[in-house]
Amino acid sequence: MSHVWKDPKSLLKKAQSANREVRLLGVAALSKKHTSWHDSDYRAIAQACDSRTLIGLARSPDCDLRFFLSPPILCQEQDQKVSIEAAFMKLLASLPRSNVDRCTQYFTLAAMQQSKKAMAEDQTGWIVFGGNALSFVATLSKIPEEALDQVYLLALISHSEVSSHCEEIVKLAGLQLLMRVYQARENSPKILSHVAQIIANLAAHPSLHDKIIQAGWISVLAKWMKSKHLPLSAQASRALANLDRDWSSETFGNGVYVLHPNGRSSEPVLADIVFVHGLSGGAFYTWRQGKPTEEDASPEPAAPTEDADEQKNNENKKKEKFVWCWPKSWLARDCPHMRIVTVSYDTQITDWASKCPYEGEKHSLAQRSGEMLRKLHDAGVGQRPIIWVTHSMGGLLVKQMLIDASQSETMATVMGETKGVVFYSTPHHGSSLAAYSQQAKYLLYPSTEVKELSLDSPVLRNLHGRFRALVQTHQLPVLTFGESIPTNIGLSVKTLVVPPLSANPGCGEFHEMPMDHQNICKPHSHNSLLYQLTLRFVQQNISMPLSVALSEKLEELLQDPEEEEIFYPLGMSFGE
């Protein structure tokens, strides 16, 4: 039995079995480290692997990249005849103009009208691209060609959110064009993140899977999943999850990312923790670690110890101290049996930078709620208990979504499975930022989001009243943090963006923290009160079954690799 689960050919046979359970176990065993294998073994499997197995391997933690063949070499003669710029212009000109909002049409035309000469002449300008659930303010790069690629990619991202346009993008050799961009900009993670985003959007359509696989994208996505650049690895992970129909039928639309588990996992998922950012926030950078305290910045040297292992552990803790995304780094470790999801949606404080004359037609809470609910429902949110973690306007959006879900037959489980909400400086009763924006309206042109945030807004009053009713009806636990340090909002103005009276929802647990609005959602350390209170809230409101608790204890005791090999081939995986 042990030999069967180590021999490359035997493992591949199991990984490609007609029996799904055997197949999944085979892929998991195949993806493990095999110290006795040679390059030739990996190459033989790569050449004999079917696409379903390759996708499973790409989504397996610590999978060896030698399983994947290099993408097909593009015709160099064709590349020389048609530049990337010309190919983009041809593609965008050929795409339909139907079923897209007017801003997408506007900026598609603007992208086509750009020239390398104009980009070179204005290195300091901003290109603002607005689309359906998409808004980018892209500072031009120092490299004109790269900046131009970014303009075209942002236009193509918006088109890739329209189902009928996805088919056209593939028919018009869009996959091959994106491969050219990847090969030309291999050292530009920002450009590659846009490419991965388009591939992930296309992968949301099963009818396009074969084309994506044939174009050689599996090996590229597998490589990107290991990237240290979080936006790139997250987009690659989303693309592979959409391609992996053998594992799950869940679909991850644009702006929905799973931070944990990263790929396939045999561990049970007990709940979803969903992070929703606020105004001008993002799916990743909103949740980065905050500024270190003096103690964090200048830690005392560790006392001398004779225990080398203990000293090594202390050094590793120091290295882990500062993180780019604390839900992915800290919460995933503290709550391994929970799926951590983060969402991204476009927001703007001001329309001043927006060049689109139709931008004001979008961006209300009501409009945004329906779209976000649908995306989260498609991603499986509502199938298990949910904890929402929100910052600023993200809390208002979650309140709107819960109200809408409670009134919908198809989305009712999203409300029914909600077990708690965490608010970081959510303006339940409005924000002083809206007042400042109104006073400076000739300079700022406040966006729709900001206009909705005015103090004592009837919209917010109605929203909060309905939310309070839900809290009472469902006995919903609420944890709230409020800011107490003014934030510099520009124009030499400092203010409490969300005063404590507005941040306090009047229900649940409320803590006023010595932090400003931007940093209220950024714990400065794992041991900080902000993080520990959030962690305690999550753990208190998501109960762990006894079987899972026992399996965790068994895994601690069963660390011998030889013992693990005995259980795994028998189909026994702790936690299942």
DSSP conformation letters of 198-242: HHHHHHTSGGGHHHHHHTTHHHHHHHHHT-SSHHHHHHHHHHHHH
Which element (helix H / strand E) includes 44? helix 39-48
400-410: average pLDDT = 96
Residue 140: predicted pLDDT: 37
pLDDT value of residue 72: 81
The answer, yes or no, to whether residue 420 has pLDDT greater than 70, is yes
* pLDDT level of residue 212 (50, 70, 90 thresholds): very high
The region of weakest confidence among 23-37, 362-376, 439-453, 503-517 is 439-453
Are 318 and 299 in contact by the 8 Å Cβ rule? The answer is: yes
pLDDT of residue 372: 95
Alpha-carbon distance of 236 to 350, in angstroms, equals 31
Question: Could you say which architecture CATH assigns to the domain 271-293+320-541?
Answer: 3-Layer(aba) Sandwich (3.40)
Q: Hey, what are 391's tokens?
A: 């910052």
Backbone angles phi, psi at 349, to 5 degrees: -75, -35
pLDDT at 126: 33
Crossing angle for the helix pair 230-243 and 51-58, to the nearest 10 degrees:
150
State the amino acid at position 55 in one-letter form: I
Beta carbons within 10 angstroms of residue 285's beta carbon? 13
Q: What pLDDT was estimated at residue 556?
A: 55
Banded model confidence at residue 342, pLDDT cuts 50, 70, 90: very high
pLDDT band at 114 (very low <50, low <70, confident <90, very high): low
Q: What is the DSSP letter of 18?
A: S
103/133 Cα distance (integer angstroms): 11
pLDDT value at 47 more than 70:
yes
Using alpha carbons, list the distances in angstroms from residue 81 to 112, 147, 169, 365: 19, 22, 21, 48
The Cα–Cα gap between 47 and 521 comes to: 47
Q: Which of 111, 187, 109 is nearest to 149 (CA)?
A: 111
| pLDDT at position 390 over 50 | yes
Q: Is the peptide bond before 261 cis (omega within 30 degrees of 0)?
A: yes
Environment class of 121 (CB within 10 Å of its CB; exposed 0-12, middle 13-18, buried 19+) = exposed
Let me know: does 242 contact 233? Beta carbons within 8 Å: no
Query: Lowest-pLDDT range, 24-28, 36-40, 253-257, 344-348?
Result: 344-348
Of 176, 191, 194, nearest in space to 143 by CA: 191
Buried b (16+ CB within 10 A) or exposed e, 227-265: beebbbbbbbbbbbbbbbebbeebbbbbbbbbbbbbbbb
Higher per-residue confidence, 523 vs 113:
523
- Supply 447's token pair: 């966006």
Q: What is the pLDDT of residues 223-248, one digit of tens each?
A: 999 999 999 999 999 999 999 999 99
Q: Indicate if the pLDDT at residue 124 is higher than 50.
A: no
**Cα 225 to chain center, whole Å?**
13
Long-range contacts of 550-557 (CB under 8 A, 24+ apart): 551/575
Share of residues in the chain with pLDDT > 90 (%): 58
- What does the alpha-carbon distance between residue 207 and residue 357 come to, in Å, rounded to a whole number? 36
Q: How far apart are CA 516 and CA 498, in angstroms?
A: 9
User: Which range (136-145, 483-492, 504-513) has the least confidence?
Assistant: 136-145
* Mode of pairing for the β-strands spanning 126-131 and 256-260: unpaired
Q: Is the pLDDT of residue 433 over 90?
A: no
Residue 554 in this model has a pLDDT that exceeds 80 = no
**CA distance linking residue 111 with residue 85, whole number of Å:** 10
Domain ranges of the chain: 8-67, 76-248, 271-293+320-541, 545-576
* C-alpha R_g of the chain: 25
Q: Which of 195, 226, 239, 347 is nearest to 283 (CA)?
A: 347
Is residue 8 scored above 60 in pLDDT?
A: yes
- Distance, in Å, from the CA atom of 250 to the CA atom of 243, rounded to the nearest integer, reads 10
What share of the chain in percent tops pLDDT 70? 73
Cα-Cα end-to-end distance for the chain? 22
Q: What is the pLDDT of residue 459?
A: 84
pLDDT band at 145 (very low <50, low <70, confident <90, very high): confident
Tell me the pLDDT tens digit for each residue of 251-297.
999 999 999 999 999 889 999 999 999 877 899 999 999 875 544 43
Give me the pLDDT at residue 136, please: 35
What is the pLDDT at residue 524?
94
CATH of domain 76-248: 1.25.10
pLDDT digits (tens, 9 = 90+) for 183-200: 999 999 999 999 999 999
Q: How many residues does the chain have?
A: 576
> What integer pLDDT is reported at residue 3 of this predicted model?
54
Q: Looking at the predicted structure, is the pLDDT value of residue 432 above 80?
A: no
pLDDT value of position 98: 72
pTM: 0.83
Q: Is the pLDDT of residue 305 over 90?
A: no
Which one, of 478, 458, 481, lies nearest residue 468 by Cα?
Answer: 478
Mean pLDDT of 331-359: 73
For the cut 70, the answer to whether the pLDDT of residue 30 exceeds it is yes
Q: Give the pLDDT of residue 109.
A: 76
User: Does position 165 have pLDDT exceeding 60, yes or no?
Assistant: yes
More confident residue, 289 or 351: 289
Residue 275 bridge partners (DSSP): 342, 389
Mean pLDDT of the chain: 81
Least confident of 145-159, 418-432, 536-550: 536-550
State phi, psi for 297 to the nearest 5 degrees: -70, -35
Residue 73's pLDDT band, with cuts at 50, 70 and 90, is confident
Q: What per-residue confidence (pLDDT) applies to 481?
A: 98
Going by their DSSP bridges, the two strands 126-131 and 134-139 should be labelled as antiparallel
Q: What is the pLDDT of residue 186?
A: 93
Please tell me the predicted confidence (pLDDT) of residue 552.
58
pLDDT score of 169: 97
DSSP string, 538-556: HHHHSPPPHHHHHHHHHHH
57: which residues sit within 8 A by CB, 6+ positions away? Answer: 27, 30, 31, 49, 63, 67, 68, 222
Write down the pLDDT at residue 292. 56
The secondary structure of residue 285, as a DSSP letter, is: G
Q: What is the pLDDT of residue 97?
A: 79
- Going by pLDDT thresholds of 50, 70 and 90, the confidence category of residue 123 is very low
Handedness of CA 387, 391, 394, 400 (dihedral sign): positive
Residue 396 or residue 145, greater confidence? 396
